[in-house]
Amino acid sequence: MLRFLKALSFLLALTALSVFITSCGSSSTQIRFVNAIRDDATPLDIEVNGGKIFTDVGFFGYQPSSGYTKTSSGSVTIAGVNTGTTTQVFSSSASLGSAQYTLVATGTITGTNGSAVQLLSIPDNNTVPAVGDVEFRVINAAPSTQNAAVDIYIIANGGNGGIQPPATISALAYTQASGYITFPFNSLGSGYTMYVTSTGTTNPIFSQVLPSPTNSIRTLVLTDVQNGSSLNSLAVELSDLN
């Protein structure tokens, strides 16, 4: 009996170890990268712990073109170098868990107005919305707003209400990401329109139509115009889901 109990204990220990190893092996970190550095004229290669993971990402560009790319988890060093050279534009540490992340490089290389390059590491949640719903999230990566936050209005196309407070997302500051905002299926028209205004006003700085199939998730990244100091009239639109 004693020998049987010892064998059983050993078997249980092996099973627990196997479950642990399997669990560790199945975890993964997935990332995508957006280049919002407004004065970066040269596309970037992106390295994680010295290994190249994305290449030739120009301003207002992102990779991969859809979905995510697997990479190392834990405490990692993420660097951007000018494509085809060893000239480093930025280097930043990040703590990445077993999840999906949107990485956004923003700011300016020259450090004008006190804004150097910053790397935003933002966890994503791409759980499928309830049947018929759509979700939007906004990331403010526009250095020109560092002293003046923006309001975001997302309004169903086909309605007659216009821009009416309260804002969908209020006072979104530079380098901040909003939460996911859920909307029901738009039976009035085709998709939604995003209006970006100065905080506390309803006068649009710019607007952008957002096609939105049912059960979709979209992330909108606000940037400045390249080599300028004002908001771009178009946001980077990432199709998180559907």
Statement to judge: residues 90 and 151 lie in one domain: no
**Domain annotation covers residue 90:** yes
> Does residue 2 belong to any structural domain of this protein?
no
Residues 116 and 182 in one domain: no
pLDDT range class, residue 11, cuts 50, 70, 90: very low
What pTM value is reported for the model? 0.86
17 found inside a domain = no
pLDDT of amino acid 187: 75
pLDDT at 26: 35
Judge whether 8 lies within some domain: no
Strands 169-172 and 118-123: unpaired
**What pLDDT digit, counting tens, does each position of 26-41 carry?**
358 999 999 999 998 8
Q: Out of 57-71, 110-124, 158-172, 222-236, which region has the weakest mean confidence (pLDDT)?
A: 110-124
Judgement on whether residues 116 and 137 belong to the same structural domain of the protein: no
d(CA 79, CA 164): 42
Q: Report how many domains make up the chain.
A: 2
**Least confident interval from 17-26, 39-48, 126-135, 176-185:** 17-26
Q: Residue 188 gets which letter from DSSP?
A: S
CA dihedral 26, 54, 91, 123 (to 10 degrees): -50
- Same domain for 97 and 145? no
Tokens 């004229």 correspond to 41
Domain ranges, residue 94 = 28-124
Which residue, 192, 152, 200, 195, is CA-closest to 172?
Answer: 152
pLDDT class of 76 with cuts at 50, 70, 90: very high
